[in-house]
Amino acid sequence: MADQVTLTIEGREVTVPKGSTILDAATRLGIVIPTFCWDPRLRSIAACRMCLVEVEKSPKLVTACAAPAMDGMVVKVFSDKAVNGRKAVMEFQLVNHPLDCPTCDKGGECELQNHSFSHGPGQKRTSEPRNRVIFDGKYVFDEIPIGPVIWYNSNRCIKCYKCTRLVKEIAGDADLGAFNRGYKTILHRHKNVPFKSEFSGNTVQYCPVGALVADSFRFKERTWMLEQTPSVCHLCGDGCNTALWHQGQKLFRIYARWNNHVEDGLICDRGRFGGLYADDERRLQHPQIRKEGKLVEVSWNEAIRYVADMLENIMDKHGGESIGFIGNEMLSNEEAYLFNRFARQVIGTNNLDFRFEDRHLPSKELNFHLLSIMSDRVPYIDFKKFDNILFVGADSEVRHPVLTLWVKRAIYSGASRTYAAYHRKTDYNLHPAESIEYFPQGEYNFLLCLYKALKGDDIKDITSSAGVRAEDVEKWAEDFKNGKTLIFAGEDVYNNPRGTENIQLIEAIRDLLGQESKVNILFDGANYIGNILCGATPGILPFGVDNIYDNRKALADSWGAEKLSDSEGMNTAEMLNAAAEGKLKALFILGADPVGFYPGRGIAEKAMKKAEFKVVCETFLTETGKSADVVLPLAAFPEYEGTLISTEGRLQSFQKAYETAYTSAEGWRIMLRIMQKLGFEEDYNGPEDIWNEIGDNSEIFSNISHKGVSFRGLLIDMKFDKKRETDISGFEAVEAPKPPPEYPLILTYGTSVYQKRHLTHYAADMEKIEPGARIYMNTKNANSIDIHDNDTVRVSSGKGSLTLKLTTDQRVRPGTVFIPTNFIEAEFNTLLDSKADLTFVKVEKL
């Protein structure tokens, strides 16, 4: 065959696709050739020469990682010539190496140690002193901090350039490079640019030697003393596969587990370093009950009994409908399912929700619509099949670092062009996307413009309502007519006052673009889809069925319950409002912090004040926890197991690394014990039992055993194929936001790339990477009112004011400011009005 070549390696024949290297061919035969600088995700640069092999008729040894396999080639890997060649390379590598394995953190998992043991000469012949790079006398062990959380030791570095290539070629960041030449080469950052790539931690994992070391692991423990447990990152919806390295109940580090369909071995720093919060000693240690106005420590038994008694009391007095349940999008499927049984069956209410960081929450119809779109989604590895990739309403690099990595690959390889529409410029680094910035919450007007432009209508009259230029939108429309387009609908598209219309418009646009174009919905949160499918929203019962009479009846029968509540149920926004008005008497809050994160701090505080009884289960004491009547310490993710569904729709399981630390308990256990006190008669030994019940009763999850999802995960078939006919012909542009003169700027907010709510705050590394909250403002805007980078400013709205440091940022749209939500002490949500769609602010220099 023309596109195949056949060669002989060590006397064995092998056929590989044209373009494969000798290394690929040898791997296929199971022949191991040692490498340092080769990495399957990077282009070969043949820098280290470790992979030398002999090729018949070639006068010199060749590098297997770079030399293409050719028809009729005869390769010898273990001939004397090849073996001696590699021995010489090894000797060279070690000429200047300090051989400080006993104090090197890579010891035990170092490729230099391994290769030198298997391929090295065992002795060196030079007697000159080793070259030693000393940056300045300040740092012992010749290590210098090159980033906020990473150290570099040039003497150990073998110049394989993996680190800089990972950062540049894959993450697309320009902040780690190779300077100087020859033996004087050092890997370093640019003098004036900090090493802050959100993928920086991967350089530590893939450095073949101990030249790059993570601050959080440096001199902490020998690698062979640690155990590894497979896990899945909880800190965003991308579903990266991770390995937890631990010893007893101590978590030492989080590494990528390398699932080449998901994170491909590259996780972001939020997941790698931020996840270490699980190990922080500020965690809640004991159940606490408010007695005489103060939270005091009590035993688990007392706490559980108290919660059950109080809930029973309120049910007797006001009925189950007077109790609300607020969870969070990191709940595992098992937790979400139990959460739903707790609320619907044991308490008898449909007031339950797992979303609490947005106010404009999708209705059940919209959720069904989202799920039906996701039934035809595109998996990560297929992004590159699309010519155009369009993001709308998505801060994708920040909210979905690893999904965006797949998009970057599609861009960098030249397969796709990228277009980003958002109220802020999102940049795709080395190969920037085209970008359109509309007004905050301008998704609807923008999509309408794009739709009309695609249809060939004149859009001159409506573009100003979106704050965009007609020619930009028209150009995009032209571009999209060529080739296949993949549209990502971000969180801001559906968590939006016009969420339903937005999604209808996106579908209409996709239809205009033709059969081959697709839409993916982006979900922030480790288990957004799973939470919906397992019943954690009011309108949708477990396994994705509508909460209507027949379905309720069937569910009640399968649970052996008399009857389930017939009410509509409330979402989080409605629950908080009802509680603040005194209509909701009790709140059961599982891993959620509405006071800290709900957009409208006032209403959340009021709800906590007005409700008679509030239970908060949390890992750390949150703002919400401080005003609760009962605080129950929640286990952190290494301490329990379960399954999650990522934004890709991939079902994956994470394992328990060790028993719950401190005296915390797993979410499912806490709920089950309270439920049993309230008369629930079933029992589960653990998440696996709960999973089996889910599988037995649902079409989507049937035939998937708990063990079956354990390793690589599987893309679930959601089967929500209801085609919704919608008529969008009557859609008209709405008015553009008009800030009042006293508050001329529009406030936008969202997560920061390094953080997940308050949690990552408790990881020491994150504090170093991003030391505090700031407000971001467009440089021009700032200068026009004489404010400069690093000034301290006061931001005020009609609701409140904050004092923050300011960063000028070109990417912020003029007329708007951006505040990251992750800094609890900054209390960003005091500024927000829980009634108005948008919040207007003013900024003054202090």
Partner 1 sequence: MLISEETRKKLAELKDKYPTRQASIMPALHLVFDEFGYLGVEQLDEAADIIGVSRLDMNETASFYTLFPKQKVGKYLIQVCTNLSCALMGADNLVEYLEEKLGIKLGETTPDGIFTLWNVECLGSCGTAPMMQVNDEYYEDLTREKVDELIENWRKGEGS
Q: Which residues bind ligand SF4 (CB under 6 A)?
A: 157-163, 187, 207-209, 211-212, 233, 235-236, 238-240, 263, 267-268, 270-271, 401-402
The DSSP annotation for 763-785 comes to: SHHHHHHS-S-EEEE-HHHHHHT
Which residue from 722, 710, 713 is spatially nearest to 647, judged by alpha carbons? Answer: 713
Is residue 43 close enough to count as binding partner 1 by CB under 8 A? no
For residue 725, count CB atoms less than 10 angstroms from its CB and return exposed for 0-12, middle for 13-18, buried for 19 or more. exposed
Residue with Cβ nearer partner 1 (161 or 597): 161
What is the C-alpha separation between 385 and 650, in angstroms, rounded? 19
Q: How far is the CB of 188 from partner 1 (least distance, A)?
A: 9
Given partner 1, ligand FES, ligand SF4, none, residue 50, with its beta carbon under 5 to 8 Å by kind, binds ligand FES
| Complete DSSP assignment for 617-666 | EESS--HHHHT-SEEEEBPPGGG--EEEE-TT-EEEEE---SSPSTT-B-
The residue among 157 and 389 lying less far from ligand SF4, judged by its C-beta, is 157
Instruction: Give CA–CA dist 210/758, Å, rounded.
Output: 32
Considering beta carbons, is residue 193 or 836 the nearer one to partner 1?
193
Choose the one of ligand SF4, ligand FES, partner 1, none that binds residue 235, judging by a C-beta under 5 to 8 angstroms depending on kind.
ligand SF4
Residue 38 binds which entry of ligand FES, partner 1, ligand SF4, none, CB below 5-8 Å type-dependent: ligand FES
Q: Which residues contact 218 (CB under 8 A, 6 or more apart)?
A: 105, 151
**Residue 415 CA, distance from chain mean position:** 24
Residue 810 found at the interface with partner 1 (CB under 8 A): no
The CB-of-330 to ligand SF4 minimum distance in angstroms stands at 11
Per-residue contact string for residues 193-212; x = within reach of partner 1 by CB under 8 A: x-------------------
Single out the residue of 419, 421, 435, 429 nearest to residue 386, CA to CA. 419
Residue 8, both tokens: 């002989």
What would the two tokens of residue 390 be? Answer: 């369009």
Given the complex with ligand SF4, which of 41 and 610 has the nearer CB atom? 41
Task: Tell me how far, at minimum, the Cβ of 42 lies from ligand SF4, in Å.
Answer: 11
Report, in Å, the least distance between residue 103 CB and ligand SF4: 17
Instruction: Give least dist CB 99 to ligand FES, A.
Output: 21
Partner that binds at residue 407, options partner 1, ligand SF4, ligand FES, none, CB closer than 5 to 8 Å by kind: none
112-121: long-range contacts, CB 8 A cutoff, minimum separation 24: 112/36, 112/158, 112/208, 112/209, 115/34, 115/36, 115/50, 115/90, 116/90, 118/34, 119/34, 119/50, 119/83, 119/86, 119/87, 119/90, 120/87, 120/90, 120/91, 120/94, 121/87, 121/88, 121/90, 121/91
Residue 174's binding partner among ligand FES, partner 1, ligand SF4, none (Cβ under 5 to 8 angstroms by kind) is partner 1
Cα–Cα dist 759/274, whole Å: 8
Residues that bind ligand FES (CB under 6 A): 35-38, 46-51, 63, 65
Position among 123, 127, 180, 685 found at the interface with partner 1 (CB under 8 A): 180
| Residue 181 near partner 1 by CB under 8 A | yes
Could you give the dihedral angle defined by the CA atoms of residues 201, 205, 206 and 210, in that order, rounded to the nearest 10 degrees?
Answer: 110
629: exposed, middle or buried (C-beta count within 10 Å: 0-12, 13-18, 19+)?
buried
* Minimum distance from residue 193 beta carbon to partner 1 (Å): 7
In the complex with ligand FES, the residue whose CB is nearer, 36 or 428, is 36
Distance (Å, whole) CA 382 – CA 843: 44
Which of ligand FES, partner 1, ligand SF4, none interacts with 432 (beta carbon under 5 to 8 A by kind)?
Answer: none
- Residue 82 CB, shortest distance to ligand FES, in Å, is 13
Looking at 66, 74, 83, 178, which residue binds partner 1 (CB under 8 A)? 178
User: How near is the Cβ of 200 to partner 1 at its closest, in Å?
Assistant: 14
Looking at beta carbons only, is 39 or 491 nearer to ligand FES? 39
Q: Residue 193 touches which of ligand SF4, ligand FES, partner 1, none (CB < 5 to 8 A by kind)?
A: partner 1
Closest approach, Cβ 46 to ligand FES, in A, equals: 4
The nearest distance, CB 160 to ligand FES, in angstroms, is 7
Whole-angstrom Cα distance, residue 371 to residue 379? 15
Q: How far is the CB of 226 from ligand SF4 (least distance, A)?
A: 20
Residue 47 binds: one of ligand SF4, ligand FES, partner 1, none (C-beta under 5 to 8 A by kind): ligand FES
Q: What is the nearest approach in angstroms of partner 1 to the Cβ of residue 190? A: 5
Q: How many CA atoms lie within 13 A of 312 on its CB side?
A: 13
Helix (H, G, I), strand (E, B) or coil at 481: coil
Nearer to ligand SF4, 273 or 339 (CB): 273
Count Cβ neighbours within 10 Å for each residue of 527-564 and write b for 16 or more, e otherwise.
bbbbbbbbbbbbbbbbbbbebeeebbeebeeebebeeb
Cβ distance to ligand SF4 smaller for residue 402 or 694: 402
Give whole-number Cα distances, 567 to 463, 547, 678, in Å. 42, 10, 21
CB 486 within 8 A of CB 378: yes
Residues numbered 419 to 478 that lie near partner 1 (CB under 8 A) are 430
**Do residues 60 and 119 lie in contact, with contact meaning Cβ atoms separated by under 8 Å?**
no
Is residue 175 a contact residue for partner 1 (CB under 8 A)? yes
Q: Does 133 bind partner 1 (CB under 8 A)?
A: no
If one asks whether residue 512 binds partner 1 (CB under 8 A), the answer comes out as: no
Q: Number of residues in contact with partner 1, rule: CB under 8 A?
A: 14
Q: Which of 57, 60, 138, 192 binds partner 1 (CB under 8 A)?
A: 192
Distance separating alpha carbons of residues 658 and 642, to the nearest angstrom: 14
Comparing CB distances to ligand SF4, the nearer of 42 and 678 is: 42
Residues 6+ apart with CB under 8 A from 511: none
Contact 157, 99 (CB under 8 A): no
Q: Binds 138, which of ligand SF4, ligand FES, partner 1, none (CB < 5 to 8 A, cut-off by type)? A: none
Q: Which C-beta is closer to ligand FES: that of 37 or that of 410?
A: 37
Residue 673 binding partner per list ligand SF4, partner 1, ligand FES, none, with a CB distance cut-off of 5 to 8 Å that depends on partner kind: none
Strand 630-633 to 613-618 pairing: parallel
Q: In this structure, how many other beta carbons lie within 10 angstroms of the beta carbon of residue 312?
A: 14
Choose the stretch contacting partner 1; rule: CB under 8 A; options: 171-179, 589-597, 768-776, 832-840.
Answer: 171-179
User: In the bound complex, what is the minimum distance in angstroms from residue 270's beta carbon to ligand SF4?
Assistant: 4
Residue 174 found at the interface with partner 1 (CB under 8 A): yes
Which three-class secondary structure state does DSSP give residue 846? Answer: coil
Contacts of 130 (CB under 8 A, 6+ apart): 95, 96, 97, 98, 155
> Rounded to the nearest whole angstrom, what is the least distance from the CB of residue 112 to ligand FES in the complex?
13
Give the number of other CB atoms < 10 A from CB of residue 683.
Answer: 8
CB 506 within 8 A of CB 529: no
Query: Shortest Cβ distance from residue 168 to partner 1 (Å)?
Result: 8
- In the block, tokens 């030198």 appear at 116
Residue nearest to ligand SF4 (CB): 271
The site for partner 1 (CB under 8 A) is made up of 174-181, 189-193, 430
